[in-house]
Amino acid sequence: MSLYELKTNTLDGKPADLAQYKGKVAVVVNTASACGYTPQYEGLEKLYEEMKDQGVVVLGFPSNDFGGQEPGTAEEIKKFCTLKFNVRFPMFEKVKTKGEGQSPIYAFLAAKEGEPKWNFHKYVVGKDGKVKAAFKSGVTPDSAELKSAISAALKE
């Protein structure tokens, strides 16, 4: 099984096949607009802009699972991300990251590295669609440990 075999919907509600990212290294993040970690959107966008030409993509999945910190509609989430943080990396529909009704994407990610414990949990997925590493919310997008895991995945 590979992340790139799964399908979802974009934040605009359009079908999205994750196969389009096969051959890239993905940083998959569960996001929220009203969280103490929300300013990480800025770092995630910077990471995406700096590394997209090297084959890295950031994939954002809004989730209301932790503290009800993503209560908005898809339209509200998109507006917030665009106006406040100028997010250009791909954003997808709101998902459940844990428990009953868990998204197939998060079921796949959690199988190896465990479920997120809070918003802005990051999974590094290799070019082959397999989870290579996971990082708790406090690990920032510009941290050495995250960048090291991305670099290692790019070399595979």
Structural domain span for residue 150: 3-155
Q: How confident is the model at residue 10 (pLDDT cuts 50, 70, 90)?
A: very high
Confidence band of 125 (pLDDT split at 50, 70, 90): very high
Is the CB of residue 26 less than 8 Å from the CB of residue 55? no
CATH code of the domain containing 55: 3.40.30.10
pLDDT in tens, 68-106: 999 999 999 999 999 999 999 999 999 999 999 999 999
Average model confidence (pLDDT) across the chain = 97
Two tokens, residue 34: 């009203």
pTM: 0.97
Positions marked catalytic: 35
Structure tokens at 107: 């079921």
116 — pLDDT class (breaks 50, 70, 90)? very high
Return d(Cα 35, Cα 67) in angstroms, integer: 8
- Residue 64 phi/psi, 5-degree rounding, is -105, 20
Q: Which residues touch 138 (CB under 8 Å, ≥6 apart)?
A: 37
Please count the structural domains in the chain: 1
Given a contact cutoff of 8 angstroms between Cβ atoms, the answer to whether 51 and 80 are in contact is no
